[in-house]
A and B are shown apart, each in its own frame.
Chain A
Amino acid sequence: MINDKIDDIFRRNLGNVQVPPASSVKTSLVKEVSSIIYKKTLFCVFIITASVGVLAIASGLVFQNINKAPNELSKDSETNRTSLLSLNNSSSETSNIGDAECEESEATEEVLPKSSELIAQNYDAPHKISAINSQPNYSNYLISEASKSDDYLLKNLDNQSKRSGYAFKNKTTEGKALKDNTEHKQFPSNLKKNKNLISKTHTSSVSNVKNKDAEPIKKEVLSKEQLNIRSLELLTDIKCSEFSSKEIIGVENILKSNPTSNTQEVGISDELIEMDKIYNELNSKIDNISTDIHNSNQSDYKSNRRTWALGLTYGYGDYSNSLNSSLQNDDVKKSTSINSKSNYLGALATREVGRLKFSLGAGIERMNQSYTSSIIQHTQEEIWNYTNIYETVIINGNPTEVIIGQENITSLVDKEEEITSDLTNQIDYLQIPFSVGYDLFRGSRFDAGFSAGVIYNKQLNSRGEILNELSAEINSLRQDKSLTNNSLYQFQLGINITRNITPKISVRVNPRLRIASSKQFDELRIQSTNYSGLDINFGLQIKL
């Protein structure tokens, strides 16, 4: 078949044909592959850098968690207080129901499953304890637990007050008393010791309200109530006059009218409501005091804070522009760079969200620039020459040249003159910096992190001189506003170090690298290059 023959011809002749490509193919191929490798290398470098950054952030978080660990007890105390609140709510619910014994006990069990569990863990209750009886016991337990954890916080507070000079002496003393109290508090065997301790600390007030006629069981319960209130008073720094007489009498009245049988609990709803009010008030006091304690631990507080801060900033920068040599005229010898020194004064508003800091500021920057330029001027110099004027005179029959005078002749000679000028500029900008920072390290005294952002500069005025290398003239910046760009954008990347003087006032140092993304001068100038350099900012910051 002819088709097969045609196929054979081509297959046989061209099937394994080898034609060497041009050498340029290999060259361009190698270049392209090299660029792929280069891009991949860059990508790897970027990934490594990002990984290091993530590791740094992670290590910062770990460090933060290490700082937080000792304060977990304070969270426990908060949990206890929450449970206490739920207990109070349950008691109010119970008092509102107030009709049937069975309903009340069921409601209590429903509302207080965790409370009952906690009580069961710490008490050997032979029988089911009614709501009114379990409440003081449970609250007593909670108070003991809270006092344990808050004792730790009070210790911290004590240490911090020593450092900061805060006057927490009274609280510390009470905290120690609480510590002793809680160490001895073992229900129900150590109850007498507690009673003695409380009676020692608040002898006068307690002695006024003790009901001597109460039954032994009631006395014991009353003592627990008093213990609760006293302990809470100690915790919340409440003066005895606020709660001692009136409220304890109220509690006593409750307990007086609170027989051990469950049937009589139904009729005490008013007392329960009153007691609930007392507990709520006490809890609100606990809330206040514990917040202060939390605030005293700065690292824990800082990790969750969302605050505003205002500050003043002063900055000093040293930048340089390398000049664009492609625009250089042969007649101009230029300096290699412009040195710029800037001073900045401005205000800064910072929003802190956890470890992130968003800063927006405004201020005035004055940039002083100086550089040297040399211009070679081609001139023609006039040279004065005096030439003698001769006249031929026949003397004794012989012609003789005689000088009859002098003639002044001027001639022009080409001359190159180098004029060196020291030029200075002064440009004022309205500067609006925006940056996002992240604190890698947060200590009680120092914070450290990094920040990155953009800076917008709006030119306010300029004066000085700039060399026009094409015409070899020096132009005034003041006269020709088009020589400078009105708007400049820069990128900044820096390190933030903050020294906390007080919880509200801090001092900040921010060395940073600034790279201008736009040109400072007219495009046709050799100075029209981007400047970059380091600057350092000092700031005083007040947290709101």
Chain B
Amino acid sequence: MNPDQLIYKFVRGNNIAFQKLYDKYSSALMGVCLRFSRNRADAEDMLQEGFIKIYKARKTFDIESGFSFYTWAKRIMINNGINYCKKNYRYVFPDNDLEIADPDSLNRPTEGYKSELVITEAKLLKMVQELPDGYRTIFNLYVFENLTHLEISEYLAISPNTSKSQLSRARKILQKKIEPIAVSINNEKIKVS
């Protein structure tokens, strides 16, 4: 079936078309949900809720706008992910969270760190999922969705400074988690050489 026809039928409320769209895009959208959630079970809940919202909002999708279905669905999924986190994780963003003990330390190059690190996606995903909920959300929005701090602040109803500090803390945590792996990889390389 032509993708346009598939989407057209989906907009008209065709159940089979919806199932086919699910088969086509669920894996990619599951990746989005996994980044926003703490674990896979939550991600699957998030995915299901997101697809229900996609189905209910199908009439708002303008086929002729040139917007791809995936972009539209991903936007709904991200919104749903944020709402899911707010509802189930109950994280709060402290307003005075800008006091970083040593902000320069974040920009300092890590010893033995190399950009050519080979770390599996699963490990990286686990690192993201292990981030505190607030950090994870802002990290996702900034890194993966390419939103600015101003946009994030509007999105989450927080101040831009809070967004910045949360992102810094998220990066710091991730950096700490990557370092040992990088060191061990370097050591292995040295041993091999």
Contacts and interface: CB of A to CB of B under 8 A. Distances in A.
B150 interface: no
Contacts of A24: 44
A342 B56 CA distance: 50
Contacts of A2: 106-110, 113, 175
Interface in A410-454: none
A29 B52 contact: yes
Contacts of B175: 2, 6
A13 B116 CA distance: 12
Given A17-B125, A20-B27, A10 B143 contact: yes
A14 B128 CA distance: 10
B117 A9 contact: yes
B67 interface: no
A24 B44 CA distance: 9
Interface stretch (A31-39, A487-495, A531-539): A31-39
B35 to A, nearest CB: 6
Interface stretch (B12-20, B78-86, B92-100): B12-20
A3 B106 contact: yes
Given A2-B110, A14-B121, A20-B30, A9 B144 contact: no
B110 A36 contact: no
Given A14-B124, A17-B31, A21-B30, A30 B19 contact: yes
Contacts of B51: 29
A36 B56 contact: yes
A282 to B, nearest CB: 70
Interface in B116-174: 117, 119, 121, 124-125, 128, 139, 142-144, 171, 174
A34 B15 CA distance: 8
B186 interface: no
Nearest to B114: A5
A238 B47 CA distance: 89
Interface in B1-30: 13, 15, 18-19, 22-23, 26-28, 30
A5 B119 contact: no
Contacts of B13: 37
A3 B22 CA distance: 35
Interface in A7-49: 7-11, 13-22, 24-26, 28-30, 32-34, 36-37
Contacts of A69: none
B109 to A, nearest CB: 6
Contacts of B124: 9-10, 13-14
A15 B32 CA distance: 8
B178 interface: yes
B115 interface: yes
Interface in B55-103: 55-56
Nearest to A11: B143
Contact of B178 (A6, A17, A28): A6
Contacts of A22: 44
A26 B121 contact: no
Contacts of B117: 9
A3 B107 contact: yes
Contact of A19 (B15, B18, B31, B139): B31
A13 B48 contact: no
A10 B128 contact: yes
Contacts of A17: 31, 34-35, 121, 125
Chain A interface mostly: helix
Given A14-B144, A17-B34, A26 B128 contact: no
Given A9-B124, A13-B121, A26-B22, A32 B48 contact: yes
A40 to B, nearest CB: 8
A21 B143 contact: no
Nearest to B13: A37
A395 interface: no
A1 B52 contact: no
A503 B128 CA distance: 85
A36 B57 CA distance: 13
A18 B22 contact: no
A306 B52 CA distance: 53
A427 B188 CA distance: 91
Interface string B172-190: 0011001000000000000
A21 B27 contact: yes
Nearest to A15: B144
A34 B55 CA distance: 11
Given A29-B52, A33-B55, A1 B107 contact: yes
A21 B115 contact: no
A8 B121 contact: no
A33 B125 contact: no
Contacts of B23: 26
Highest count of chain A CB atoms <10 Å: which of B56, B110, B113, B143: B143
Nearest to A26: B22
A22 B34 CA distance: 13
A36 B55 CA distance: 10
A29 B22 contact: yes
A7 B121 contact: no
B15 A33 contact: yes
Given A2-B106, A2-B113, A6-B174, A29 B48 contact: yes
Nearest to B174: A6
A5 to B, nearest CB: 5
B144 A37 contact: no
A170 to B, nearest CB: 72
Interface string B32-52: 001100000001100110011
A38 to B, nearest CB: 11
Nearest to A1: B107
Contact of B31 (A10, A16, A28, A33): A16
B18 A33 contact: yes
Given A9-B115, A33-B18, 8 more contacts: A1-B107, A6-B171, A6-B178, A9-B178, A14-B31, A25-B48, A29-B22, A36-B52
- The 4 A-B residue pairs whose C-beta atoms are closest, nearest first, are A17-B31, A18-B27, A19-B30, A21-B30
17 contacts: A2-B107, A2-B108, A6-B171, A7-B171, A10-B144, A14-B121, A14-B124, A16-B28, A19-B30, A19-B31, A20-B26, A22-B44, A29-B48, A32-B48, A33-B52, A36-B52, A37-B15
